[in-house]
Homo-oligomer: A and B are copies of this chain.
């Protein structure tokens, strides 16, 4: 099976990473992955009410930004954080974001 495109470490851009993380759903996904280590799409999707194609879209955004790494195994996709790459490129970034994310309730995020 053709592996989905994911950027080499050198091509990971800070702005893209930030943009990928600047979404409640994706931030939750990343927080989840950080404790789970690696999960397949169904599991990540399990707790949400979101359509699977929407989730697929979010998988892609994270993957193409260089935040996650996807491995195809049979008919499943295993997704994990690119911790080593991200830590090397942006030391402390992931830790501080994850720390803040778990601290801050994932409540309605928009001001009105």
> What per-residue 1/0 map shows which CB atoms of A6-50 lie under 8 Å from chain B?
010001011110110111100100000000000000000000000
Q: A89-B100, A90-B99, A100-B89 are in contact. Are A111 and B22 (CB under 8 A)?
A: no
* Least CB separation from A25: chain B residue: B15
A19 to B110, CA, bound (A): 11
Partner of A16, one of B89, B96, B109: B109
Chain B proximity mask over A44-67: 1 for CB below 8 Å, otherwise 0? 000000000000000000001000
A-B contact pairs, 16 of them (CB 8 A): A7-B111, A13-B104, A13-B109, A14-B27, A14-B100, A16-B111, A18-B22, A19-B22, A21-B22, A22-B22, A89-B100, A89-B104, A90-B96, A90-B97, A90-B99, A96-B96
